[in-house]
Structure 1
Amino acid sequence: MEQTTIITADDHPLLLKGLNDFLLERGYNIIGSGKNGREAYNLIINENPNIAILDIQMPFMSGIEIAQKCKTNCPDTKVILITLHKEREIYEQAKELNIFGYILKEFALEEIENCLEQVIQGEHYFSPNIGKKLQSHGIDTELFSKLTPSEKKILKLIGEDKTNKEIASLLFISYRTVEKHRSNIINKLQLEHKTNSLLIWAKQNYSSFT
C-alpha cells in the first residue's frame, strides 16, 4: 500500500475529505488532492501517481477528459472514476477509455478498497452495483412530496454543500433542529443511513428540486 502513490480529486469538499480520511486511516499513500479537474490533471502530470481517483464531473476538466489526456501523457497512471451519474453513455465512454475502476459515489466507501486492491494488481474493477443502476434517473416525486417546506429548504442547502451549522445560521434554527430535519428527510426519501447518503442524494438530484 505504501509503495502505491495515489492522488484524489473531487469538487465537493466534504466528499473529498471523507474519501481521503477513509483511505488515510487504512494506510494508503495519498500524495495530493485536487478540488477541480485542472488541479487534478496538474497533479498527475507533476507527480505521476500510480493511481488517480477522480470525480467524473468537475470544473475546468471532467474525469473523462483527464482520462483521455492520461492515455497519451501519463499512460502509467491508472484512473479510477467515482461518479454520481448513472447514465449508460458515460459508463460506456469510461470502458472505451480503458478506465481501471468505475464506482458510484453512493457505494464508494464500501467498494474503494476492493477496487484499489484489484487495480494495484493490474486488474479492472467496475462496480457490480452499476448494472442495476444504469438508467435515466429522476427523483421519486411521491416520496419527495412528503417533505415539508422546511425540509425542502434544508435539502436545497445540503445540495449546496452547506454544513449543519451553516444551515442553522441561515434558517435561524438550532443545530439540533437541523439534525432532526436531516433524519426525517432520510426516512421520508427512504435513503440508507450511511455516511453522506443524504449529501450524495442532494447533489445528484439538485437540479430536479430547485
Structure 2
Amino acid sequence: MNNKTNPTIIIADDHPLVLKGLHDFLIEKEFNVLASAKNGKEALTLIKAHKPDIAILDIKMPFFTGLQIAEKCKAENIPTKIVLITFEKDEKTYYDAKDLGAYGYVLKEFALVEIENCITSVINNKPYFSPELLNFLEIHKLPENFDLLTNHEKGIVELISRNKTGVEIAELLSISPRTVEKHKSNIIKKLKLEQKQNSLLIWAKENSDLLNT
C-alpha cells in the first residue's frame, strides 16, 4: 500500500459524464488517480495490472458489475479496497457489498460531497457507507451484533423463525442435527442472548423482518 495521504486510485463508470466529473474532482483534490475505465472488464484489467490502494467502481457496468469485480478481487486476494458508487438504495445490494468485503458504498447524488471523506476513511482501514443510505435503509436500527452473523447463520435463524425444529433444519440444509445445535450455540453467543430455553426462537420471531430481505 502507498502512503495514506496520497493513495493510488482507479475509477470506473459506464456513464461518461459521471466518470469525467469524478475524475476531474479527484485530480483537483490532488489524489493519485492512475487510470479510469468505462466498463467492468477494463476496470478489472486495470486493478490486476496496477493493484491500486482503492478502486472506485460503479455497481452497474457492462461485462462485470462492481459487485462481481469485488468478488473476483476477494477470490484472488487482491488487496485493493473496493468502493462502490450507485444511485440505488437497495438493502440486498448493501449486504452483498458488505459480504464481499467492500470498504465503501456511496450514493452517486452525494458522490462529490462524500467521496473525499470516503477515501480518507478507507485508506485508514475504516469502511465508509453513505449516511444517506444508512438512514434510508434504517441500518442503524439493526439489533446489536446482527452483522456478525454469517449468511449461513442468518439462514438458520430464518428457519427458526418459521418454527422449524433442529431436525427439520438439519434435513433442509443437509447437515446433522448436532451441527445445527452448534450453529445455534454460536448464534446465541454472537447475539449475546440469554442462555435459556427459546431465547433464540423469541429473538428470531421478533426480528423476522430482517431475515426475509
Give the TM-score band, short-chain normalised: 0.5 to 0.7
Structure whose alpha-carbon radius of gyration is higher: 2
**TM-score when normalising by structure 2:** 0.61
Deviation at 1:87, TM superposition (A): 1.4
Check whether the contact 2:41–2:64 (CA below 8 A) recurs between aligned residues: yes
Q: Residue in 2 aligned with 1:47?
A: 50
What's the RMSD between the two structures over aligned residues?
A: 1.5
Check whether the contact 2:51–2:78 (CA below 8 A) recurs between aligned residues: no
Deviation at 1:73, TM superposition (A): 2.0
Residues 1:83 and 2:86 are matched in the alignment: yes
AA at the equivalent of 1:15: V
Cα deviations by residue, 1:91-121 (Å, 9 ceiling, x for unpaired)? 1101111110001101100000000001011
Deviation at 1:12, TM superposition (A): 0.1
Structure 1 regions of 5+ residues with no counterpart? 136-210
Structure 2 regions of 5+ residues with no counterpart? 139-213
AA at the equivalent of 2:21: G
Q: 1:81 aligns to what SS in structure 2?
A: strand
Residues 1:93 and 2:96 are matched in the alignment: yes
Deviation at 1:51, TM superposition (A): 0.4
Check whether the contact 1:48–1:77 (CA below 8 A) recurs between aligned residues: yes
Q: How many Å separate the matches in 2 of 1:2 and 1:119? A: 12
Deviation at 1:72, TM superposition (A): 2.2
The one of 27, 30, 42 equivalent to 1:27 is 30
AA at the equivalent of 1:50: D
**TM-score when normalising by structure 1:** 0.62
Deviation at 1:74, TM superposition (A): 4.5
Q: 1:57 aligns to what SS in structure 2?
A: coil
Q: How many Å separate the matches in 2 of 1:85 and 1:107? A: 12
1:118-197 pair list within 5 angstroms:
118-134=121-137
Q: 2:125 aligns to what SS in structure 1?
A: coil
